[in-house]
Structure 1
């Protein structure tokens, strides 16, 4: 199926590499076999704006410019990868950025928050209870705040995950499948971390539109499988309602593994930190404790249990997030 993309501002360095993880593959193979594990290096979309969020923001920023917006408003946790990327996109394109952040302001900014400030973004901090109860009102407040000062803002949802942002990983799926064909295989499974649902929605929809039989599975880092199945369907429905054709919609297979969330969002247990060390020590691959590390730790445990043993090729999508690793530095005391 030929895809017609909406307005887009090209900022990512694409295509990102597809690399085999042969040392991990060998270590986690079982007597029953197992897949060759590959990683799609979307942590390399751009040096500072690295990660999956930039793919989505190419399309979001394209619409913002088309609509004459001069301000971007978005939201997330204090260490949000999406907020950091939005701040840097705004700096590159000359757009104001207002962040609505969940949590307390750090006296000494670290990780993503430090980058937010370096990029010139403005940040407002709210306790979690107020943030979740009043997020729509907070967006309205800041949109009106800028309108009263003569600015036009585009409001971007959590993670850039909606019917517009989903285009980022429709495009990403097209690229990934082409990479696999170049390497001489069709992937049976594509694995990603799922935190706001948009990356999984785009990969699922992209594979469906392009006729791939690959099963996309999101490893949840918060909430549960039912929530993300609903969220992915909602994003895809928004995409369809924008005038896009969705053939055989009933055949969409949305798979979510919610067995490895651990203590909660942005909280990890030692299994995750050890998986991060494993990936770095075995493959020189740097993951983060919030998204990729948690999903990769879950994948390694599934492999150890013998899951995917009848699979030849499995692709793990590295969605970035390394800036969020450093505020967790004390959790790696087992390395000393």
Structure 2
């Protein structure tokens, strides 16, 4: 680590408010058996699925920063939303419980017939539910504001968290993840060429862009969209990274051209497991004993393996796959998507 990087890590970490919920760093492990099948590429996993709070997942990183701000504002409620199988909502409910705050989960659509997976966990964590009655995912955004307004009328002090946790404060938590991985790589004598990431609402990717620029690293991002068209994702991530940079008093502007996004592996749509993802999940599980999820990491891995097979990534010799979590999806529904038939799972 050079002097510049050391000073940046020290300064930026000091600027980011954080209520730590878990133990860090998460494990960085070489995928030995899988690497043997990948030709010249050496694959590593960054195991944010093993974050030691709220059943894991990298959503915790952003929530640590948002919780610090919520407590500083003397909030007594967290209000957020997505689909009923949302990792972010489940993690928010756990965060609220830990901090002694109320939590309202805003879900699109109507209540499902079965309470399982993340939906069951969020209920167990004592979150209140509000359903929009509209199958449009964007309906959550309007209803988060409505729920917060109702809580204020009742004398509460709600803290609103956008759908999926995609906001500038949350982005800062993922900047710290870049710092963490960089220090781990130094200690293990490993310099990655590329980082593979599944992209949904864009907060994680924005944090990685900002962190990589802060440290002046040469890491390339291989990011697979799991929900929107690539161009829309690029614009969203660029906006979030620019907003987060402003919080750090940096006059930096990110443009969609700075945000490469790979497409083609969403399948039938967001939250709908795909046969390609199912095959990737089985290959990784049977090679490494690591469980990817069908909505995010399974689809990103499917895209990455396809790229390797088609020699798209021959220039990258050491690659880190960000495992962002999501395993509760395995306990929702009947799991037929691993064999035949693909049932929609409302996720976020």
Same fold (TM over 0.5): yes
Partner secondary structure for residue 258 of structure 2: coil
1:300 maps to 2:305: yes
* Partner of residue 25, structure 1: 35
1:95 maps to 2:105: no
Partner secondary structure for residue 36 of structure 2: helix
Partner secondary structure for residue 175 of structure 2: helix
2-structure distance, mates of 1:325, 1:135: 24
Asked whether the equivalents of residues 54 and 95 of structure 2 are also in contact (C-alpha less than 8 Å), the reply is no
1:35 maps to 2:41: yes
1:257 maps to 2:262: yes
Asked whether the equivalents of residues 238 and 254 of structure 2 are also in contact (C-alpha less than 8 Å), the reply is no
Deviation at 1:125, TM superposition (A): 1.5
Q: What does the per-residue CA deviation read over 1:30-83, in whole Å, with 9 as the maximum and x for residues that have no partner?
A: xxxx32000000001125330110000000000000000000000101101000
- Residue ranges of structure 1 left out of the alignment (5+ in a row): none
Asked whether the equivalents of residues 287 and 325 of structure 1 are also in contact (C-alpha less than 8 Å), the reply is no
1-structure distance, mates of 2:260, 2:193: 13
Q: What does the per-residue CA deviation read over 1:219-242, in whole Å, with 9 as the maximum and x for residues that have no partner?
A: 100111111110111101211333
Structure 1 residues 250, 224: CA separation in 2 closer, same or farther (over 3 Å shift)? closer
Asked whether the equivalents of residues 238 and 256 of structure 2 are also in contact (C-alpha less than 8 Å), the reply is no
Alignment map for 1:163-174 (pairs within 5 Å):
163-174=168-179
- Residue ranges of structure 2 left out of the alignment (5+ in a row): 1-7, 341-348
Asked whether the equivalents of residues 242 and 253 of structure 2 are also in contact (C-alpha less than 8 Å), the reply is no
Alignment map for 1:1-336 (pairs within 5 Å):
1=8, 2-3=11-12, 4-29=14-39, 34-129=40-135, 131-132=137-138, 134-242=139-247, 244-246=249-251, 253-327=258-332, 329-333=335-339
What is the number of residues matched between the two proteins?
Answer: 329
Deviation at 1:171, TM superposition (A): 0.1
1-structure distance, mates of 2:180, 2:246: 25
Asked whether the equivalents of residues 78 and 160 of structure 2 are also in contact (C-alpha less than 8 Å), the reply is yes
TM-score by length of 2: 0.90
